[in-house]
């Protein structure tokens, strides 16, 4: 069954959001790199790559269903952040917005009886649980560390391990 116009439009919006996420995380990576937090910088790089992967999953799906992909201009992300905590708080808030958007897309797919889209979105719904959890955990840890510089140093190293893996 070819993709419906409403789903195709919402899917294109979602591709835009995923690429916007990649752009945001790349900006955060640059901020961390410039403030001497190489671990967080590499974590954010890995996150940006993951977001590009999400955009590709949606792109492939639209193409596989005979739809057309329409890319739009991306707005510039913030050039800097007030602190490592502020950056991760912004990331956690951003993930909550992405989850809401995926859920709305699922609702639309249910209304349209588009089962293939629902199957694709199941993966994203599970993925968002993980993404929200991870960013929330990092925010909690950074709040706990506060202004303790050696704590921040150790935590940055820990974040760097994910960057290497991803």
Query: Which stretches of the chain bind ligand FEO, using CB under 6 A?
Result: 18, 21, 51, 54, 95, 98, 131
Least CB distance from residue 147 to ligand FEO, whole Å? 29
CA distance 68 to 85: 39
- Chain CA centroid to CA 34, Å: 21
Least CB distance from residue 54 to ligand FEO, whole Å? 4
Choose between 127 and 145: whose C-beta lies nearer to ligand FEO: 127
Least CB distance from residue 137 to ligand FEO, whole Å? 15
Choose between 89 and 131: whose C-beta lies nearer to ligand FEO: 131
Residues 6+ apart with CB under 8 A from 163: 39, 41, 42, 43, 44, 45, 46
CB 132 within 8 A of CB 92: yes
Choose between 12 and 21: whose C-beta lies nearer to ligand FEO: 21
Least CB distance from residue 158 to ligand FEO, whole Å? 20
Length of the chain: 166
Instruction: Look up residue 162 and give its DSSP letter.
Output: H
Residues 6+ apart with CB under 8 A from 95: 128, 131, 132, 135
**Closest-approach residue to ligand FEO (CB):** 54
CA distance 110 to 101: 14
Choose between 23 and 38: whose C-beta lies nearer to ligand FEO: 23
Choose between 102 and 152: whose C-beta lies nearer to ligand FEO: 102
Least CB distance from residue 134 to ligand FEO, whole Å? 9
């Amino acid at each position: 069954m070819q993709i419906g116009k409403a789903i195709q439009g919402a899917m294109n919006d979602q591709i835009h959001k995923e690429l916007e996420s990649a752009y945001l995380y790349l900006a955060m990576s640059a901020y961390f790199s410039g403030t001497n937090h190489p671990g967080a910088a590499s974590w954010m790089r890995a996150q940006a790559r993951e977001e590009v992967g999400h955009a590709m999953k949606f792109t492939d799906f639209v193409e596989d269903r005979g739809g057309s992909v329409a890319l739009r201009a991306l707005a510039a992300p913030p050039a800097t952040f007030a602190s490592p905590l502020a950056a991760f708080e912004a990331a956690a808030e951003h993930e909550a917005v992405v989850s809401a958007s995926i859920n709305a897309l699922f609702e639309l797919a249910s209304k349209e009886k588009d089962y293939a889209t629902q199957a694709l979105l199941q993966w994203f719904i599970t993925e968002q649980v993980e993404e929200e959890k991870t960013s929330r955990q990092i925010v909690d840890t950074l709040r706990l560390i506060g202004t303790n510089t050696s704590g921040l140093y150790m935590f940055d190293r820990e974040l760097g391990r994910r960057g290497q893996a991803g």
